[in-house]
Amino acid sequence: NTEAKLSYEYYHSKYPYESGIPAIGNDLFAVPWHRWVGDKGDNTVVDRHTVDLKLTHKLDSSWKVTGGFMYQYQDYPMEQLYAWDYPDANGNMPLAPWFVDYTSKLYSSFIELNGKIDFAGMTHKLLIGGDQYYFKITSEGFVNGFDQWTTFNVLHPVYGTVNYDELRNLRDTSPD
C-alpha cells in the first residue's frame, strides 16, 4: 500500500537580457520596435536541477499519509548591459553592466494525513499536515549599475563595441 515517485528535471536556457524599447521624450514610437537595446555579448545562462520525491502510504480504505521532499539548485550567471536611464533627445542612452553569478538553493518538504470520518451523521474529509520551505540565493560579481559604462544610441546603434572580457575580469576579481 505504499507508492513512491521520484523525478529529476534538468533545465537549461541561454537568453539575452531585454531592457525593452525606450521612449524619447513623449514619442513612444521614435525607436523601432525591433531595436535591440544592449550589446551582442549580453546573455544569461540558466542551469537548474530539480529532484522531487513523494511517498504515499494507504493506512486503510479511508486514510492515507503522504510526504515529500524537493530540492532545487540553480546557477545563472548574468552578463548584460542594461539601460539605467532614458535616452536623451538625440537617442543616446547610458548603459550599465550587470555581471553577476547567482546561485540559488531551494528545499521544501511536507507531510499530510488525509482521510474521512463519520461524525454527527455526516462524512467529513480531513486534511492535517504541515510543510517547510527554505530558499537561499547568493550572488558574486561586478555590478556597476549606478554608473554609466557606455552609451548606446537607440536611433543609430553600433553593436560589438563593448569589451566583455574586461567586464568579466572585473566580475571575477571584484572584492565584494
Task: Choose among 118, 113, 115: nearest CA to 128.
Answer: 113
Query: Which pLDDT score is estimated for 6?
Result: 98
Query: Which pLDDT score is estimated for 176?
Result: 59
Regions of the chain short of the pLDDT cut 70: 19, 142-147, 175-176
Are 9 and 49 contacting, i.e. CB atoms less than 8 angstroms apart? Answer: yes
Query: Which pLDDT score is estimated for 47?
Result: 95
What's the Cα-to-Cα distance from 151 to each of 15, 96, 104, 117, 146, rounded to whole Å? 22, 9, 32, 69, 14
Taking only the tens place, the pLDDT of each residue in 81-119 is 888 788 888 888 888 888 888 899 999 999 999 999 999
Q: Hey, how many other C-beta atoms are within 10 angstroms of the C-beta on 167?
A: 21
